[in-house]
Amino acid sequence: MKMAIIYTSVTGNTEQLVHIIALFFKTNNQAIDIYTVHDFPIQQLSTYDLVIVGTYSWGNGDLPKEMEGLYEAFEMQNVDHLITGVFGTGDRFYPHFCGAVDEFRDMLYAHTNLAVTLKVELMPQSSDLSKCEKFYKSLMKRVQKAKVN
């Protein structure tokens, strides 16, 4: 099972969420590659079995500029088999809270086997841990289902 988290983070909130989510994989002895979007070898996207996208939101609930290439790669490459999840941090001060998560969600739903989404306000708090665990478990449930079928 080849798995990756691909993320972007400027002020560290989304990166914190990456660490929390990665911990669930580590605790369950599951290897997962962690890449910033800048470092991810985009041509290898379709070689993965599971990909998790992590993003903040920008402008008016927009995708960060650096995520556009990854977004397009999902649209262009053969990724129907990919189990995916998308999470992000945002700020409820803005009218479109975690808009980039919604944008990825709609596209991933159309092009991949999207299992779950997660939105967190700014820096993750201990109260967000149960949401992160749910996120992880939903992904694993989808993995099991894919193995059975």
Ligand X SMILES: Cc1cc2nc3c(=O)[nH]c(=O)nc-3n(C[C@H](O)[C@H](O)[C@H](O)COP(=O)(O)O)c2cc1C
What is the rounded CA–CA span in Å between residue 67 and residue 72? 9
Half-sphere exposure at residue 79, Cβ-oriented, CA atoms within 13 angstroms: 27
What's the farthest any 2 CA atoms get from each other in the chain?
43
Angle at 44 between CA 147 and CA 18, to 5 degrees: 75
Q: Does 58 bind ligand X (CB under 6 A)?
A: yes
Q: Does 90 bind ligand X (CB under 6 A)?
A: yes
Q: Does 13 bind ligand X (CB under 6 A)?
A: yes
Q: Does 115 bind ligand X (CB under 6 A)?
A: no
Q: Judged by CB under 6 A, how many residues of this single chain contact ligand X?
A: 22
Q: Does 19 bind ligand X (CB under 6 A)?
A: no
Which one of 30, 49, 66, 96 is in contact with ligand X (CB under 6 A)?
96
Contact range with ligand X by CB under 6 A, out of 38-46, 91-99, 125-133, 139-147: 91-99
What is the rounded CA–CA span in Å between residue 82 and residue 91? 29
